[in-house]
């Protein structure tokens, strides 16, 4: 038994040191070894020890966790086996190393061969280094063995030393071989946190921590590190996608995997950094925190990742990562629930989101991010006519101003202020100032990039806008909205073929992306492809823009009776959408009627007016003096 647990074993094309947990590829002897996490290593030891025999799930449970440990065992065992398979390049569908026996357990499929210790291994060459590594491993093992009712108390005392020792050693070991050339921009994906709490209602917590980790890593060094946005990675949630496929989808060199467990008000987060090209596990660590200190774990993970990929952090960034960020646990929980609901993008969920955001601000009036969330909900409710515009705009402004007073360096607050200045104030210089400040604070935030692109687009500064939109697509390549926004600026620039192609890319990613058919139908109308336009108009989800587009399409086809009918229905049912009515009249060359409805839109402060200067559907009005007057009232350059 002792020889098995501490020796070196060959299995298939791998050789594993069952003491240090290093997994070497025999086929690539110069490649860096994979360092297995403690739980993964223990499972491998069991499989090797019982080679060719079934190791039951109950045996794995007994080996890894004490009887009174509170863990969702099934999910945790599945995650551990998944990590082991990934290290071995194995697949559950076509296993070569580990066979799954349904509802029973697992079996090692390859023969094993015990190896004699080799004096040439790196660790054996340096006895001092071997001793340090051994002590680190012993400390980690002690933490694992003591996971009983008071496991968090022990872990909180021991873990900081283990983390520092572990990160320092692993960083040293991989420093010359894992880091890419200095000039190369590193691309990293943070995969959705696995919820191993045993409570499916805690998904909002896992998703919220995913977002926090992405944001924290995105702030580190945007010139050297590109962190893929939340929308693109969330598509992998609950999917066992191969890492090489994720690498191709997102063009990333590294993936950060995380899992979440909870015991009362204590949270354990397990993080591991994987290099995609050879699926090497570069680093892994367990973090244990009380709920009030949970945001500190994001700093610790970000610091460790920065060391692994050799980012050069400024002294200010390093200081920020060591600063404590205590939060009110109940307020944080309410905020995450609100965030999760608001992301669903329905009126019912938005109403519930507002209640959770309000609760967060009541529990902790200094919680700036919760005030931003509340402002976003009220602004969104105005835009879809759920609450009166005057009341909603007032609330949204007061709430984001409160957030900025509490935290002037909160990028999300500057983005929201820019949104209000754009849609409510028509203050383009103010929008520019807010969004540029947000980009300076978080250069890798796609929302800040697309917001500033939208502002530049409205002002007709298309080349600057398209550059930012392309950056957003690069950071969020699987987000249909990113492609639709890129298509929109190309449409306004008159690059109709490019706009159609990128719009279709967005629809391929998400057939339900609602702007797609509306934008495509407008492109086809401008290209004179009337039948194609009619086909797309039928797919437009909302009645008001669909009636507007039918009115234009039928007019271009000479079907005036049908055009009149569509326009009449638009006015009768959706007169509160005056810009749509104006666009229909402008395309029918009825300029007086078009200006009548544009004046009505201005009187009611319709946010749709922000695109007046660049809207191709209003092009017939450009030479009319009234158009220049309207642009002046909107503070837009003529």
Tell me the pLDDT tens digit for each residue of 470-521: 999 999 999 999 999 999 999 999 999 999 999 999 999 888 777 889 999 9
pLDDT for res 116: 58
| Assigned CATH class of 138-322 | alpha beta
pLDDT for res 135: 30
Give the span between the Cα atoms of 435 and 414, in whole angstroms.
6
Confidence of residue 149 (pLDDT cuts 50, 70, 90): very low
User: pLDDT higher for 429 or 140?
Assistant: 429
Residues 173-200 have a mean pLDDT of 68
What are the residue ranges spanned by the domains of the chain? 2-125, 138-322
Which of these, 357, 381, 379, lies nearest to 367 by C-alpha position?
357
User: pLDDT higher for 71 or 222?
Assistant: 222
**323 has a pLDDT exceeding 80:** no
Cβ-count burial 316-334 (b if 16+ within 10 Å, e if not):
ebeebbeeeeebbbebbbb
Give the span between the Cα atoms of 631 and 571, in whole angstroms.
24
Supply 249's token pair: 């989808």
Confidence of residue 177 (pLDDT cuts 50, 70, 90): very low
Give the span between the Cα atoms of 10 and 94, in whole angstroms.
21
User: pLDDT higher for 548 or 238?
Assistant: 548
| Angle (CA) 163 164 166, round 5° | 65
**624 has a pLDDT exceeding 90:** yes
**What is the DSSP secondary structure assignment for residue 540, as one 8-state letter?**
-
| Residue in this structure with the two tokens 């066992």, named with its chain if needed | 240
CA atoms within 13 A on the CB side of 528: 0
Query: Is residue 523 a contact partner of residue 514, using CB atoms and an 8 Å limit?
Result: no
Pairing of strands 280-290, 266-275: antiparallel
Residues 284-311 have a mean pLDDT of 83
Check if 2-125 and 138-322 are the same fold.
no
Q: Is 277 exposed, middle or buried (0-12, 13-18, 19+ CB in 10 A)?
A: exposed
Q: Is 590 exposed, middle or buried (0-12, 13-18, 19+ CB in 10 A)?
A: middle
CA atoms within 13 A on the CB side of 77: 19
pLDDT tens-place string over residues 574-613: 998 999 999 999 999 999 999 999 999 999 888 899 999 9
pLDDT tens-place string over residues 439-477: 999 988 999 999 999 999 999 999 999 999 999 999 999
Residues 299-322 have a mean pLDDT of 79
| Angle (CA) 537 538 542, round 5° | 80
Confidence of residue 539 (pLDDT cuts 50, 70, 90): very high
Residues 425-444 have a mean pLDDT of 93
Confidence of residue 176 (pLDDT cuts 50, 70, 90): very low
Residues 423-428 have a mean pLDDT of 90
pLDDT for res 300: 84
pLDDT tens-place string over residues 566-584: 999 999 999 989 999 999 9
Enumerate the H helices of 179-276 as residue ranges. Answer: 203-218, 230-233, 243-250
pLDDT tens-place string over residues 211-253: 989 988 988 888 889 999 999 999 898 887 888 899 999 999 9
pLDDT for res 393: 92
pLDDT for res 72: 55
pLDDT for res 373: 97
| pTM across the whole model | 0.69
**126 has a pLDDT exceeding 70:** no
Q: Which residues contact 393 (CB under 8 A, 6 or more apart)?
A: 379, 382, 420, 424
Least confidently predicted of 18-22, 401-405, 428-432, 470-474: 18-22
- Other Cβ atoms less than 10 A from the Cβ of 411: the count is 23
Mapping DSSP onto H, E and C, the string for 374-440 reads HHHHHHHHHHCCCCCHHHHHHHHHHHHHHHHHHCCCCHHHHHHHHHHHHHHHCCHHHHHHHHHHHHH
Q: What is the mean pLDDT of the chain?
A: 82
Q: Which residues contact 200 (CB under 8 A, 6 or more apart)?
A: none
Give the span between the Cα atoms of 477 and 59, in whole angstroms.
43
Query: Is residue 574 a contact partner of residue 580, using CB atoms and an 8 Å limit?
Result: yes
pLDDT for res 232: 93
pLDDT for res 325: 67
Cα distance from N-terminal residue to C-terminal residue, the chain: 83
Q: How far is CA 33 from the centre of its chain?
A: 30
**182 has a pLDDT exceeding 70:** no
Q: How far is CA 351 from the centre of its chain?
A: 23
**120 has a pLDDT exceeding 60:** no
Residues 47-71 have a mean pLDDT of 74
Give the span between the Cα atoms of 21 and 40, in whole angstroms.
9
pLDDT for res 255: 94
pLDDT for res 394: 94
Confidence of residue 114 (pLDDT cuts 50, 70, 90): confident
| Assigned CATH class of 2-125 | mainly alpha
Question: What DSSP line would sit under 506-533, residue for residue?
Answer: HHHH-TT-THHHHHHHHHHHHTT-HHHH
Hey, is 586 helix, strand or coil?
helix
Most confidently modeled range among 30-44, 136-150, 170-184, 341-355: 341-355
User: pLDDT higher for 123 or 87?
Assistant: 87
**289 has a pLDDT exceeding 90:** no
Give the span between the Cα atoms of 421 and 526, in whole angstroms.
31
Give the span between the Cα atoms of 428 and 430, in whole angstroms.
5
Percent of the chain with pLDDT over 90: 49
Instruction: Phi first, then psi: give them for residue 94, nearest 5 degrees.
Output: -130, 75
**311 has a pLDDT exceeding 70:** yes
Most confidently modeled range among 98-102, 290-294, 426-430, 582-586: 582-586
Residue 279 φ/ψ region, left for φ over 0, alpha for ψ in the -120 to 50 degree band, beta for the rest: left
**389 has a pLDDT exceeding 60:** yes
Give the span between the Cα atoms of 69 and 204, in whole angstroms.
24
**132 has a pLDDT exceeding 60:** no
**136 has a pLDDT exceeding 70:** no
Least confidently predicted of 64-68, 69-73, 164-168, 365-369: 164-168
Query: Is residue 250 a contact partner of residue 187, using CB atoms and an 8 Å limit?
Result: yes
């Amino acid at each position: 038994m002792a020889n098995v647990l501490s020796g070196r074993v060959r299995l298939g094309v791998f050789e594993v040191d069952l003491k240090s947990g290093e997994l070497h590829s025999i086929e690539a002897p110069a490649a860096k070894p994979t360092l297995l996490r403690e739980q993964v290593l223990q499972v491998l030891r069991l499989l090797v020890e019982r080679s060719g025999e079934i190791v039951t799930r109950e045996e794995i449970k007994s080996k890894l966790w004490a009887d009174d440990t509170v863990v969702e065992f099934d999910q945790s065992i599945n995650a551990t086996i998944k990590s082991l398979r990934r290290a071995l390049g194995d697949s559950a569908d076509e296993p070569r190393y580990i066979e799954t026996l349904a509802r029973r357990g697992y079996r090692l499929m390859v023969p094993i061969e015990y190896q004699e210790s080799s004096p040439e291994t790196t660790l054996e060459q340096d006895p001092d280094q071997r001793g340090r590594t051994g002590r680190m491993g012993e400390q980690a093992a002690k933490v694992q063995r003591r996971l009983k009712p008071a496991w968090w108390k022990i872990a909180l005392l021991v873990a900081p030393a283990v983390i520092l020792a572990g990160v320092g050693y692993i960083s040293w070991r991989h420093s010359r071989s894992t880091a890419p050339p200095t000039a190369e921009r590193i691309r990293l994906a943070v995969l959705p946190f696995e919820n191993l709490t045993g409570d499916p209602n805690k998904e909002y917590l896992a998703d919220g921590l995913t977002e926090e980790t992405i944001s924290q890593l995105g702030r580190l060094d945007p010139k050297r590190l590109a962190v893929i946005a939340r929308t693109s990675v969330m598509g992998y949630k609950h999917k066992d996608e191969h890492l090489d496929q994720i690498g191709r989808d997102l063009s990333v060199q590294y993936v950060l995997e995380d899992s979440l467990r909870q015991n009362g008000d204590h949270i354990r987060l397990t993080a591991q950094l994987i290099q995609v090209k050879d699926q090497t596990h570069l680093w892994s660590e367990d973090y244990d925190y009380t709920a009030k200190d949970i945001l500190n774990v994001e700093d610790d993970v970000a610091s460790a990742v920065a060391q692994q990929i050799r980012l050069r952090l400024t002294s200010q960034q390093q200081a920020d990562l060591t600063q404590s960020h205590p939060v009110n646990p109940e307020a944080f929980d309410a905020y995450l629930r609100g965030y999760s609901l608001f992301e669903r993008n329905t009126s019912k969920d938005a109403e519930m989101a507002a209640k959770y955001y309000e609760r967060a601000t009541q529990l902790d009036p200094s919680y700036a991010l919760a005030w931003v969330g509340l402002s976003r909900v009220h602004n969104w409710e105005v835009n879809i006519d759920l609450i009166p515009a005057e009341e909603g705009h007032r609330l949204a402004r007061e709430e984001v101003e409160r957030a900025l007073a509490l935290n002037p360096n909160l990028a999300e607050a500057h983005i929201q202020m820019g949104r209000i200045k754009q849609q409510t104030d028509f203050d383009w210089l103010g929008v520019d100032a807010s969004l540029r400040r947000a980009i300076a604070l978080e250069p890798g935030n796609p929302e800040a990039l697309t917001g500033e692109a939208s502002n530049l687009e409205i002002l007709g500064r298309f080349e600057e806008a398209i550059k930012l939109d392309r950056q957003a697509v690069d950071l969020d390549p699987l987000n249909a909205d990113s492609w639709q926004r890129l298509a929109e600026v190309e449409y306004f620039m008159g690059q109709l073929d490019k706009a159609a192609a990128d719009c279709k890319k967005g629809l391929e990613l998400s057939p339900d992306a609602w702007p797609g058919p509306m934008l495509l139908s407008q492109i086809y109308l401008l290209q004179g492809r009337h039948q194609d336009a009619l086909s797309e108009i039928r797919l437009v989800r909302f009645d008001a823009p669909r009636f507007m587009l039918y009115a234009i399409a039928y007019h271009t086809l000479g079907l005036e009776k049908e055009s009149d009918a569509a326009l009449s229905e638009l006015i009768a049912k959706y007169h509160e959408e005056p810009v749509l009515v104006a666009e229909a009249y402008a395309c029918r060359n009825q300029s007086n009627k078009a200006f009548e409805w544009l004046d009505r839109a201005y009187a009611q402060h319709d946010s749709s007016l922000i695109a007046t200067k660049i809207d191709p559907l209003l092009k017939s009005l450009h030479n009319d003096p009234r158009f220049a007057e309207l642009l002046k009232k909107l503070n837009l350059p003529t």
